[in-house]
Amino acid sequence: MKVVDPERMRQMDRKAIEGYGVPGIVLMENAGRGVAEAILERYPHVREGRVSVVCGKGNNGGDGFVVARHLRNRGVHVEVFLLSREEDVKGDALTNLKVWKAMGGGVTVWMGEDDVEASLSPLRHSRLIVDAIFGTGLDHEPSGVYGRAIDILNALPIPVVSVDIPSGLHGRSGRPLGRAVRADMTVTMALPKLGCLIYPGLEYTGELRVVDIGMPKEVMEEVESPFFLIEDDMVRGMMRRRKGDTHKGETGHLLIVAGSKGKTGAAAMTALGALRVGAGLVTLGIPESLNPVLEEKLTEAMTFPLRETPDATISSSAVDDIRALMKTRKAIAIGPGLTVHPDVREVVLWLLRECALPMVLDADAINCLVGELDVLRGVEAPVILTPHPGEMARLVGMTPQEVQERRVEIAQEFAVEYGVYLILKGARTLVAEPGGKVYINPTGNPGMATGGVGDVLTGVIGGLLVQGYSPIQASIMGVYLHGLAGDRVADERGGIGMVATDIAHSLPKVIKGFLSRVS
Q: What's the structural domain count of the chain?
A: 2
Q: Which of 225, 259, 294 is the last residue of a domain?
A: 225
- Written as one letter, the residue type at 214 is G
Clarify whether residues 263 and 219 are in a common domain: no
Average per-residue pLDDT in the chain? 96
Could you count the other beta carbons within 10 Å of the beta carbon of residue 3?
21
Clarify whether residues 212 and 240 are in a common domain: no
Average the pLDDT over 256-284 and give the result. 97
Q: Which of 225, 241, 268 is the last residue of a domain?
A: 225
Instruction: Using alpha carbons, select from 248, 259, 257 the residue that is nearest to residue 333.
Output: 257
What's 343's domain CATH number?
3.40.1190.20
Clarify whether residues 171 and 279 are in a common domain: no
Residue 519 pLDDT class (50, 70, 90 cuts): low
Average the pLDDT over 345-359 and give the result. 97
Residue 518 pLDDT class (50, 70, 90 cuts): confident
Q: What pairs with residue 360 in β-bridges? A: 333, 384
Clarify whether residues 362 and 460 are in a common domain: yes
What is the distance between the alpha carbons of residues 272 and 258, in angstroms, rounded to a whole number?
A: 13
What's 17's domain CATH number?
3.40.50.10260
Torsion sign (Cα): 282, 283, 285, 289: positive
DSSP string, 52-64: EEEE-SSHHHHHH
Percent of the chain past pLDDT 90, that is, above it, reads: 97
Contact predicate 164/141, CB 8 Å = no
Torsion sign (Cα): 387, 391, 397, 402: positive
DSSP string, 388-417: -HHHHHHHHT--HHHHHHTHHHHHHHHHHH
pLDDT tens sequence across 148-201: 999 999 999 999 999 999 999 999 999 999 999 999 999 999 999 999 999 999
Clarify whether residues 270 and 212 are in a common domain: no
Q: Where are the beta strands (DSSP E) in 49-184?
A: 50-55, 77-82, 107-109, 128-132, 160-163
Q: Which of 225, 254, 276 is the last residue of a domain?
A: 225
Clarify whether residues 101 and 35 are in a common domain: yes
Q: Does the pTM exceed 0.75?
A: yes
Clarify whether residues 382 and 417 are in a common domain: yes
Instruction: Using alpha carbons, select from 215, 208, 123 the residue that is nearest to residue 165.
Output: 208
Clarify whether residues 196 and 256 are in a common domain: no
- Expressed as residue numbers, the domain containing 478 is 232-515
- Written as one letter, the residue type at 191 is L
